[in-house]
Amino acid sequence: MSSDKAKTPTFQESAKAYLDNTQLRRNIGHATHTIRDKREQAVGEMPDWEELREAGSNIKQRVMRHLDKYLVQLEKSVQQAGGVVHWAKDGKEANRIILDLVQQKQVEEVVKVKSITTDEIELNKALAKEGIQALETDLAELIVQLAEDEPSHILVPAIHKNRAEIRELFKEKLNQDELSDRPEDLAEAARLYLRKKFLSAKVGISGGNFAVAETGTISVVESEGNGRMCTTLPDTLITVMGLEKIIPTWRDFEVFMQLLPRSATAERMNPYNSFWTGVTDGDGPQEFHLVLLDNGRTNVLADEVGRQTLNCIRCSACLNVCPVYERTGGHAYNSVYPGPIGAILTPQLKGLEDEGAASLPYASSLCGACYEVCPVKINIPEVLVHLRGKIVDEKKRNGGIKQKTNQEHIGMKLMARAFKKRSRYERAQKLARIGQGLFVKDGSISNLPGELAGWTAMRDLKPIPEQTFREWWRQRDE
Amino acid sequence: MKLSLFITCFNDTLFPETGKATVHLLERLGHTVEFPLEQTCCGQMHYNTGYHEEAIPLVQKFVDVFGDAEAIVAPSASCVAMVHEFYHKVAERSGDSRLREQVEKLVPRVFELSQFLVDELGVEDVGAYYPHRVTYHPTCHSLRMLEVGDAPLKLLRNVRGIDLIELPMAEECCGFGGTFAVKNADTSMAMLGDKIRHIKDTEAEVCIAADNSCLMHIGGALQRQRGGVKTVHLAEILASTETSS
């Protein structure tokens, strides 16, 4: 992800601050519940929703099985349509390619369509270093950019901000003395500001929702029309996308154009659906570049269980139903990919040796709500548990003495040993009953030491009763 | 029908009343119940925390203990979900083809209690009596992994004297999640806080679920707040009769 391997904080560390921020929790709780309910309605209208999910999942699985073939096919299709294809093995390489292209045009400003992939590679920062300003034109991305903040949701990047906060921001940054907090007025202020930028921009940069291998067509779906502006007005268009975003044929849009809008914004269709195939004389950009980004994706592909993560079409339905995301917000994940999908994608892209990334698979109660809504049926709980296994295996191999003396590790080892043999298990039951005497007060346990203190901060723990079930059973049998 | 009881280590040690209730209930319905004493733990805690290697001998043990049983019934949705969802993966990891075969044969015979009663036996009225105002929390693993559907509610609706109140936002996770409750205690408690609020909104005396693990978590907070709301496992409600309650 970010090109340098900087250590990120763990989810536990970051979540604490956000959980204490009651305004943030209210903003996100309100927003996610609204989208959640609307999605349920939009999906409920579809009699064949389960079949669509199945189809979406199957198409994406086929893409992953034959990715090598489809990538070469896509390259050829784009070239035949007059586009140029670039391959980037990581973010650094992608940024270098894009920077070169922009510098050739001798511009100081480029307009951007909302794209998480460009956030992943920190493109704006890379361009800014060379004196080029990348202007976000999606309303929410603009808010985040003006506030010098980070997106906290895949689809609704400013979900953590409310109207009043946005009004204050616009008053200051867009020099608006008089501004109400009505959504219409806020949107109008941004619109006036952006319109000038669209008309003067020479270079547009976008991500892509889908790339059709068969035709070389790239597609971006959006709600505001800013994407349409960026992909049609400038002379040069640069699209950067993860190499997993392929669909084999044009016909496959039939499935995804039903799955995506209903899952994402709870709409039957997105207000703006842009498709472009290479370049067309006298119409739209006269130069088109497609940058295909790996940045860890082929490693994900190599893992048979983890691979399904690449099926993701970035609808963010999983974020909106996640009880963890709802309470901590997106920033606690310390990644451009927050929520359940982020909890499995980030560690696979970044690598499990990064302590922050390795904490993410544990940021879930495994409640399964994400899997239930996923339009391409990514079994997120399965991948979470799979990654936990890889993390523990890795710690056992290379964790050294720190791992061997870790409370959890010792506890797990001891319990595994006890469970293996009935006599040891029964002895452990008795020992636990005696041992708990230290902590039981007035018939309950309210204060535990070490890592278990987390339990008793808000919850009492029920003491072990006098008689186990098996003791009762034996007595009854006699 | 001869039934083998998998009581689970958690119930065995911490909630023996649930185990006893399961025995009483199944016997009342005319079944012979056996409890193989060699059983210990299904391995869920190890597996879900990432200790996959450690789960292998526990899966082997489960298979050895229950291999010949006609039907295995457990009063714990999450342990049964572990068997159904992950046992084949543990077996796969072990590289032992015999274990793989054993697991494949065994898994379809392992049932969660309410699912067994409603879907297998076709019983919805177990002749229970429980004259209290209650609410039911569908635990995540019963709902989304095992897909028990409304089996527990069908059973509860047929309990005499019961006043069953619908729990608002019932399908939201309570925040337990095994080691999640300790590793991410702050987030877990934020989730629990909302669940408790919704339970209190029902003004029920009792919160019921098909998993004692979630109930221990919910009940721990209810007790801390001295709110007067109890948590009781579904099996204990279904085992209650006019003479026992």
Nearest CA in chain B to A21: B190
DSSP state letter for A283: B
Residue A405's pLDDT is: 86
Residue A2 clears pLDDT 50, i.e. is over it? no
Query: Between chains, do B181 and A19 touch, taking CB under 8 Å as contact?
Result: no
For B32, phi and psi rounded to 5 degrees? -90, 130
Predicted TM-score (pTM) of this structure: 0.95
Q: Indicate whether A118 pLDDT > 90.
A: yes
**CA-to-CA distance for A343 and A134, rounded, in angstroms?**
28
CA–CA–CA angle A102, A214, A80 (5° rounding): 50
- The tens digit of pLDDT for each residue in A223-271 reads 999 999 999 999 999 999 999 999 999 999 999 999 999 999 999 999 9
Task: Give the closest-approach CA distance of A268 to chain B in angstroms.
Answer: 26
DSSP A280: B
Q: Which CB contacts under 8 angstroms, 24+ apart, belong to A269-272?
A: A270/A221, A270/A222, A270/A223, A271/A222, A271/A223, A271/A224, A271/A225, A272/A221, A272/A222, A272/A223, A272/A224, A272/A225, A272/A227, A272/A228
Of A180-184, A331-335, B223-227, the one with minimum mean pLDDT is B223-227
Residue B245: strand, helix, or coil:
coil
| Cα(A355)–Cα(A391) distance, integer angstroms | 10
What average pLDDT does the segment A363-370 reach? 98
Whether A70 contacts A243, CB under 8 Å: no
Residue B129 pairs with which residues in a beta bridge?
B160
Whether residue A468 lies within 8 A of chain B, CB to CB, comes out as: yes
> Could you tell me which of B166, B163, B170 has the C-alpha nearest to residue B202?
B166
Q: Which residues of A touch B52 (CB under 8 A)?
A: 389, 392-393
For A313, residues 6+ apart whose C-beta sits below 8 A from its C-beta are A56, A60, A209, A210, A256, A259, A260, A263, A375, A376
Q: What is the DSSP letter of B108?
A: G
Q: Which of B6, B8, B11, B13 is the mutation pick for testing A, counting most A CBs within 10 A?
A: B13
Range in A164-173, A335-344, B210-219 with the lowest mean pLDDT: A164-173
Q: Is A411 on the interface with B (CB under 8 A)?
A: no
A226 token code pair: 């800013």
CA distance to A290, A332, A421, per residue, from A9 (Å): 34, 9, 40
Task: Give the pair of three-digit tokens for residue A460.
Answer: 């009492």
Q: Which helix (H) or strand (E) holds A199?
A: helix A183-200
Taking CA atoms, A142 is separated from A95, A111, A264, B127, in Å, by 21, 11, 20, 63
According to DSSP, the β-strands at B163-165 and A217-222 are unpaired
Tell me the backbone φ, ψ of residue B244, rounded to 5 degrees: -90, -25
d(CA A435, CA B98): 40
pLDDT tens-digit series, residues A384-422: 999 999 999 999 998 888 888 888 999 999 999 999 999
| Confidence check: pLDDT of A6 > 70 | no
Structure tokens at A180: 């109400």
**Looking at chain B, which residue has its C-alpha nearest residue A464?**
B14
Cα dist from A295 to A131, A301, A310, whole Å: 25, 12, 13
Q: A386 by DSSP, 3-state: which?
A: helix
Touching check for A352 and chain B: CB below 8 Å?
no
User: How many Cβ atoms from other residues are within 10 Å of residue A20's Cβ?
Assistant: 11
pLDDT at A341: 98
Asked if A364 and B180 come within 8 Å (Cβ–Cβ), the reply is yes
pLDDT along chain B (245 residues), means of 10: 95 97 97 97 97 98 96 98 97 97 97 98 98 98 94 98 98 96 94 96 97 96 89 98 81
Give, in degrees to the nearest 5, the angle at Cα A38 between A36 and A43: 95
Burial label for A238, CB within 10 Å (0-12, 13-18, 19+), is buried
State both tokens at A80: 């035949």
Q: Which helix (H) or strand (E) holds A276?
A: strand A272-277
Q: What is the mean pLDDT of chain A?
A: 94
Q: Which of residues 10-39 of A touch B (CB under 8 A)?
A: 11-12, 15-16, 19, 25
Reported ipTM: the value is 0.97
Contacts of A419 in chain B (CB under 8 A): 9, 40-41, 43, 57-58, 61
For residue A439, the model assigns a pLDDT of: 87
Rounded mean pLDDT, A41-66: 98
Residue among A305, A388, A299 at smallest CA distance from A349: A299
Transcribe A45-71 into DSSP letters.
T-TTHHHHHHHHHHHHHHHHHTHHHHH
- In whole angstroms, give the CA distance from residue A428 to residue A414: 10
Nearest to B174 by CA among B136, B206, B146: B136
For A428, half-sphere exposure in the C-beta direction (CA atoms, 13 angstrom radius) is: 20
Residue of B nearest to A461 (CA): B220
Q: Which of B234, B178, B229 is nearest to B211 (CA)?
A: B234
Residue-level pLDDT at A3: 42
CB B78 within 8 A of CB B213: yes
Task: Tell me which of A136 and A444 has the higher pLDDT.
Answer: A136
| % chain A with pLDDT above 90 | 80
Residues B101, B91: Cα–Cα separation, whole Å: 9
C-beta separation of B19 from B5 below 8 A: yes
Touching B: A residues 356-375, CB under 8 Å: 361-369, 371-372
